[in-house]
């Protein structure tokens, strides 16, 4: 799986948009970009995923560059409850033995402050 690079920490004011970057310059054509987050003392939680098109759901938006070498997770109106570690992961979705394997890096610690 491709390696990802994320800033170790970021701050965001409550109510503002949080934009979390991720570099995955070695991503392959069949690898998806996944975002998970982990709130303190809880298990990781799925946020969103995409292949090459921008995606949006009730939690966030995912912007993937045209060359797919980087992406940005956007939380449009961050709240204090969004304070968490955010993981950017690239993974192949296949039915083979590599299916579903998520390799978590160190992630970005997002702190939302009042």
Q: Which residues contribute to the site for other proteins (CB under 8 A)?
A: 38, 42-46, 49, 87, 93, 95, 97-106
* Least distance (Å) between residue 83 CB and other proteins: 18
* Least distance (Å) between residue 13 CB and other proteins: 28
CB nearer other proteins, residue 69 or residue 101: 101
- 8 Å CB contact between 8 and 109: yes
CB nearer other proteins, residue 16 or residue 46: 46
CB nearer other proteins, residue 96 or residue 114: 96
* Least distance (Å) between residue 97 CB and other proteins: 6
Residue 71: partners with Cβ closer than 8 Å, 6 or more residues away: 21, 22, 24, 33, 50, 62, 63, 64, 65, 88
Residue 34: partners with Cβ closer than 8 Å, 6 or more residues away: 46, 48, 49, 88, 89, 90, 91, 102
């Amino acid at each position: 799986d491709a390696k990802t690079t994320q800033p170790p920490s970021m701050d965001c004011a409550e109510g503002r948009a949080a934009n979390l970057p991720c570099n995955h310059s070695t991503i392959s054509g069949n690898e998806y970009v996944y975002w998970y987050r982990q709130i303190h003392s809880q298990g990781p939680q799925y946020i969103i995923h995409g292949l090459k098109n921008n995606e949006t759901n009730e939690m966030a938006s995912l912007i993937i560059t045209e060359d797919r070498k980087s992406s940005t997770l956007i939380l449009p109106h961050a709240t204090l409850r969004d304070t968490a570690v955010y993981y950017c992961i690239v993974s192949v979705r296949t039915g083979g033995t590599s299916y579903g394997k998520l390799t978590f890096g160190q992630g970005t610690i997002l702190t939302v402050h009042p």
